[in-house]
Each structure stands twice: as structure tokens, then as C-alpha cells.
């Protein structure tokens, strides 16, 4: 099954290189939102008997600067706050042409967590420490490809399980606009398909997940994401082989 998923991912990435969308579910594109516009994203994740929720607020202060704030909670039983974070992203390169662009951005983030911060938690965004990284995103017509590489200094809480020290998170994302075939109005529902490889390298080992997703864009103002994240490889602390199912809703306050 894993081999099939990996082959599908590679095939998709190769197809994408020949072929729009960069509103990624797991990764973050180099582009920012419109200046002065807030975005709110609420997501719920399920893995076995565990359940977690996240709220993320984005604000683009300028065309180049975007800030985001995140809060995470465990929702398997009574909701329990698990942590939060702050990130800033600066788009330093933008090459636009008709229905094409290449953009690059740098980002920095700082996070706090109340409990475990293992590999599963890290990939969910529940982290303790800080880091920075680089994003490159290429849009061509109906397809967008993006890559992210970063460095994170993870700090484990005493008595808790978690990643510690030098951590290298990365992702490769490909998205394609499937519908509508032809745009006529802002009210047409868009359907995007994504394949993302998200991973983290630490202590000489690499955890790698494949995350396909379907995304519905409703009235050009909100997104509904349905995704699954399937572990392909890796044996980092706090990492399991469980599939994580996620549903998310995001609204743009134009």
C-alpha cells in the first residue's frame, strides 16, 4: 500500500511539472493573502481514538509580509489546550506572467506546547521551540508546485516525549485545479486536488507522510479541505503509523 502511495505521489509530481493551485492543505505557499485581509482556519483531525483541533489566524500586513497565529487543542475528551505558535513570512521574490508565477519567501516561527511534542505532534503543528525556512512556489495555469525546507530547534518538556535539538522539516506540494473547466463567476465552486509529501528529519532518521487532499472553494471566499495523512516511513519518537484524517474550513474576511 505504501509503495503504491509513493508511486502515485511521484507520478503526480512528475505530471505536475508538465502542467492550480497553491492553497495547500499541509504546506504553505510562498504567496501571501491580499493586503489587509484576515483569514481564519479551523481544522479537526482524527487518528484512531484521538482527536485534535486547531485554529489559525492569518493576516497579510502588506503584499510581502504575512503573520499567523495558531492554537491547538486535544478534543478526544474534554477539550484541553495543547499549545500555540506565531509565524511571520516575507515574500522576497515574485516573478509574475499571465497565469504563471514563481515566488519565494522566508519564514520564521516560534511555538509553545504544554505536553508531548513527538513526530506526530510536530507534523500537526504542536511544537516547542523555534525555526525558520525557505519556500519556493511555482504556479503554471491550473497547477502549482511548492517546496519548503526549514530548520527547527525543538525543545522537549521535562518528563514528556518529544523531538529535541536540531530538526529539519520539509514538504513538497502539488495542487491542481480540476473544476470548473471554465470560469464564469465567483460563485462557481472550485475543486482542487492536492498531493503533498510532508516530512521531518531528526536524529539521523526521517519521518515521511503522504497527504492527498480534496479542496472545495465556495463562492471564492472560503475553503473546505478534506485530507488524509498517511505515514510512509520513519521511526522518530512520538511517531505512529496511524492515518490522520482532517477536515478544515477557512474563511477570507475580504
Cβ nearer to another protein, comparing 10 with 57 = 57
Picking from 214, 202, 194, 78, the residue whose alpha carbon sits closest to that of residue 146 is 194
20 near another protein, judged by CB under 8 A: yes
31 near another protein, judged by CB under 8 A: yes
Cβ nearer to another protein, comparing 205 with 220 = 220
Q: How far is CA 106 from CA 20, 111, 133, 149, in A?
A: 22, 17, 6, 10
Task: Find the part of the chain contacting another protein (CB under 8 A) among 6-14, 77-85, 120-128, 214-222.
Answer: 214-222
Tell me the per-residue interface mask from 165 to 204 with another protein, x by CB under 8 A, - otherwise.
------------x----xxxxx-x-x--------------
Residue recorded with cell 519521518: 207
Q: How far is CA 79 from CA 49, 75, 116, 121, in A?
A: 14, 5, 16, 16
63 near another protein, judged by CB under 8 A: yes
Task: Find the part of the chain contacting another protein (CB under 8 A) among 32-40, 75-83, 120-128, 160-168.
Answer: 32-40
CB 119 within 8 A of CB 239: yes
Q: How many of the other CB atoms lie within 10 Å of CB of 155?
A: 17
Task: Find the part of the chain contacting another protein (CB under 8 A) among 18-26, 110-118, 122-130, 194-202.
Answer: 18-26
252 near another protein, judged by CB under 8 A: yes
CA dist., res. 174 & res. 63, Å (int): 23
Pick one of 72, 89, 101, 207: the residue that binds another protein (CB under 8 A).
101
* Sites for another protein among residues 125-164 (CB under 8 A): 139, 141-142
Task: Find the part of the chain contacting another protein (CB under 8 A) among 41-49, 72-80, 105-113, 217-225.
Answer: 217-225
- Interacting residue ranges for another protein, rule: CB under 8 A: 20-21, 23, 31-37, 60, 63, 94, 96-101, 139, 141-142, 177, 182-186, 188, 190, 217, 220-221, 252, 254
Amino acid at each position: 500500500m505504501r509503495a503504491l502511495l509513493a508511486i502515485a505521489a511521484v507520478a503526480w509530481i512528475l505530471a505536475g511539472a508538465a502542467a492550480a493551485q497553491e492553497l495547500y492543505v499541509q504546506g504553505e505557499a510562498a504567496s501571501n493573502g491580499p493586503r489587509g485581509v484576515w483569514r481564519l482556519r479551523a481544522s479537526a483531525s482524527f487518528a484512531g481514538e484521538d482527536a485534535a483541533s486547531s485554529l489559525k489566524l492569518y493576516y497579510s500586513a502588506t503584499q510581502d509580509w504575512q503573520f499567523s497565529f495558531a492554537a491547538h487543542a486535544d478534543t478526544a475528551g474534554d477539550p484541553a489546550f495543547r499549545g500555540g505558535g506565531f509565524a511571520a513570512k516575507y515574500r522576497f521574490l515574485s516573478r509574475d506572467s499571465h497565469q504563471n508565477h514563481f515566488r519565494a519567501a522566508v519564514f520564521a516561527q516560534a511555538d509553545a506546547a504544554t505536553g508531548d511534542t513527538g513526530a506526530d505532534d510536530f507534523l500537526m503543528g504542536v511544537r516547542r521551540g523555534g525555526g525558520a525556512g525557505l519556500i519556493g512556489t511555482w504556479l503554471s495555469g491550473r497547477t502549482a508546485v511548492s517546496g519548503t525546507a526549514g530548520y527547527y530547534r525543538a525543545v522537549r518538556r521535562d518528563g514528556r516525549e518529544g523531538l529535541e535539538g536540531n530538526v529539519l522539516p520539509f514538504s513538497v506540494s502539488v495542487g491542481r485545479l480540476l473544476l470548473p473547466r471554465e470560469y464564469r463567476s465567483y460563485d462557481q465552486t472550485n475543486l482542487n486536488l492536492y498531493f503533498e509529501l510532508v516530512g521531518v528529519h531528526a536524529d539521523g532518521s526521517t519521518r515521511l507522510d503522504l497527504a492527498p487532499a480534496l479542496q472545495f472553494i465556495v463562492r471564492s471566499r472560503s475553503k473546505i479541505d478534506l485530507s488524509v495523512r498517511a505515514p510512509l516511513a520513519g521511526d522518530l519518537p512520538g511517531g505512529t503509523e496511524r492515518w490522520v484524517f482532517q477536515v478544515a474550513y477557512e474563511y477570507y474576511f475580504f
